[in-house]
Amino acid sequence: MKYWKRIMALLMAMAMIAAACGGSDDSSDEAEDSGSDTEAAEETADDDEAMEDDEAMEEDSDEAMEEDAGGEIATDIGVDDEVIKVGYNTDLSGIFAGLTTQILDGSEAYWEIVNENGGIAGRMVEPVVLDNAYDVPKHLENYEKFAGEGNDGVVIFGTSTGSPHTAATAEDLVKDDLIAIPLSWYSGWADPAIGQNVFEVQTNYCLEAINAVTYMSENHGSTAAIISFPGEYGQDGAQGAKIAAEALGLEIVYDGEGAVVPGSDQTPVITELVNSEADFVFATLNPSTLAEIMGGAVGQGYTGMWTGSSPTYNFQLLGTDLGPALDQYYIHSTYTALWNTDDTPGMTAMVEGMRAKRPDAPVSDTYIQSWIGGYIVQAILEQAAANGDMTRAGVVAAANEVTVDLQGLAPNQTWSGDPNDYVVRESYLYDVTLDTFTPEGTVSDEGAGTGFTLLDGPYVSDTAANYAYESACFKAS
- For 264-320, give the secondary structure using H, E and C: CCCHHHHHHHHHHCCCEEEEECCHHHHHHHHHHHHHCCCCCEEEECHHHCCHHHHHC
- Position 202, amino acid: Q
Within a domain: 275: yes
Within a domain: 78: no
Q: Are 464 and 211 in contact (CB under 8 A)?
A: yes
pLDDT band for position 55 (cuts 50, 70, 90): very low
Q: Do 323 and 380 lie in a common domain?
A: no
Give the pLDDT score at 71: 54
The pairing of strands 389-390 and 403-404 is unpaired
- Residue 227 pLDDT > 50: yes
- Residue 8 pLDDT > 60: no
Residues 232-261, buried b or exposed e (16+ Cβ, 10 A)?
A: bbbbbbbbbbbbbbebbebebbbbbbbbbe
Helix (H) or strand (E) holding 254: strand 251-256
pLDDT mean over 388-395: 98
**Chain-centre distance for alpha carbon 118:** 19
> What is the domain extent for residue 151?
83-202+345-411
Name the domain count of the chain: 3
- Residue 130 pLDDT > 80: yes
pLDDT mean over 196-220: 97
37 vs 284, more confident: 284
- Position 124, amino acid: M
**Cα–Cα distance, 308 to 211 (Å, whole number):** 11
pLDDT mean over 408-435: 93
Q: pLDDT exceeding 90 applies to what percent of the chain?
A: 80
pLDDT mean over 308-315: 96
pLDDT mean over 373-387: 98
How far is CA 287 from each of CA 118, 157, 223, 246, rounded to the nearest angstrom? 39, 25, 24, 27
- Residue 16 pLDDT > 80: no
Within a domain: 383: yes
- Residue 200 pLDDT > 90: yes
Q: pLDDT exceeding 70 applies to what percent of the chain?
A: 85
Q: Do 245 and 101 lie in a common domain?
A: no
Within a domain: 475: no
14 vs 173, more confident: 173
Beta bridge partners of 242: none
> Residue 415's closest CA among 168, 191, 239, 97?
191
pLDDT band for position 68 (cuts 50, 70, 90): very low
> Residue 76's closest CA among 147, 12, 137?
147
Q: Report the CATH number at residue 441.
A: 3.40.50.2300
Give the pLDDT score at 67: 41
337 vs 136, more confident: 136
**Cα–Cα distance, 458 to 214 (Å, whole number):** 14
155 vs 417, more confident: 155
**Cα–Cα distance, 293 to 261 (Å, whole number):** 12
Sheet with 280-284, strands from edge to edge, namely: 251-256, 223-228, 280-284, 305-308
Q: Do 190 and 225 lie in a common domain?
A: no
- Residue 23 pLDDT > 70: no
Within a domain: 417: no
pLDDT mean over 103-122: 98
Q: Do 105 and 193 lie in a common domain?
A: yes
Q: Do 8 and 97 lie in a common domain?
A: no
13 vs 169, more confident: 169
The pairing of strands 180-183 and 124-131 is unpaired
Mean pLDDT of the chain: 87
**Cα–Cα distance, 284 to 290 (Å, whole number):** 9
pLDDT mean over 423-436: 95
Q: Are 258 and 226 in contact (CB under 8 A)?
A: no
**Cα–Cα distance, 61 to 77 (Å, whole number):** 29
How far is CA 333 from each of CA 203, 229, 237, 384, rounded to the nearest angstrom? 11, 17, 12, 35
pLDDT mean over 127-148: 98
pLDDT band for position 341 (cuts 50, 70, 90): confident
Conformation bin of residue 156: beta by default, left when phi > 0, alpha when psi is -120 to 50: beta
Q: Do 49 and 185 lie in a common domain?
A: no
Q: Do 170 and 215 lie in a common domain?
A: no
Q: Are 257 and 270 in contact (CB under 8 A)?
A: no
Q: Do 154 and 220 lie in a common domain?
A: no
Q: Are 203 and 211 in contact (CB under 8 A)?
A: yes
Beta bridge partners of 157: 87, 180
- Residue 35 pLDDT > 50: no
Q: Do 260 and 234 lie in a common domain?
A: yes
- Residue 25 pLDDT > 50: no
Q: Do 376 and 285 lie in a common domain?
A: no
Q: Do 56 and 126 lie in a common domain?
A: no
Within a domain: 236: yes
Backbone angles phi, psi at 186, to 5 degrees: -65, 135
pLDDT per residue over 347-370, tens digit each?
A: 999 999 999 999 999 999 999 999
Q: Do 404 and 451 lie in a common domain?
A: no
Give the pLDDT score at 340: 80
